Amino acid sequence: MALPELIYVRSDILAVTGKKFMQAFHLREGAKSTRVYCTLCFSVLGVDHPSYRNNVFMFFKNHCQTHFNVSQQPAAAIYLNELTDFSKAEVPLGVPVFHSFHFPQEQARFRKIVTHTFKQSQVGAVGQSLQDFIKTLGPVKVLNLTKGKQLL
């Protein structure tokens, strides 16, 4: 089973097309992640989370077309505890695995990997951050989904 691949990029958006088809969502009230979806095909275009500190945003590889080179080796496999059957999860050899972030040891080990990735760039931003872009989309729609419930 191929795991979803999360790509983190600098939150410095130079141009946006198709804004009228974008909307920001929270899965539940009080959600930390804010997801920007395409309202035509419901692809996830970008995700903001407080831990990204407005320096990066995340999207899912192959959810939308990009101009980035997304072929690099994953830095980590995370949240494997949330899989219903992780015995079939394909994690490439040499990729550190983090089942959850419940334990301080896991959090510390993960921070060593992502510190460079999530830190503020030395070069000033030219464009707009995803957080700032989300503010221009209007109110965030809360979907009130039941946690853990299969939708399909």
In what order do the strands lie in the sheet containing 6-10? 6-10, 56-60, 44-48, 34-38, 22-26, 141-142
Q: Which of 2, 41, 126, 151 binds Zn ion (CB under 5 A)?
A: 41
Q: Which stretch binds Zn ion (CB under 5 A): 36-44, 67-75, 114-122, 139-147?
A: 36-44
| Beta carbon of residue 21, minimum distance to Zn ion (angstroms, whole number) | 6
| Beta carbon of residue 38, minimum distance to Zn ion (angstroms, whole number) | 3
Closer by beta carbon to Zn ion, 38 or else 113: 38
- Non-local (6+) Cβ contacts of 48 within 8 A are 11, 33, 34, 36, 54, 57, 130, 131, 134
Q: Which of 7, 27, 31, 38 binds Zn ion (CB under 5 A)?
A: 38
Pairing state between β 141-142 and 22-26: parallel
* Residues at the contact surface with Zn ion, assessed by CB under 5 A: 38, 40-41, 43
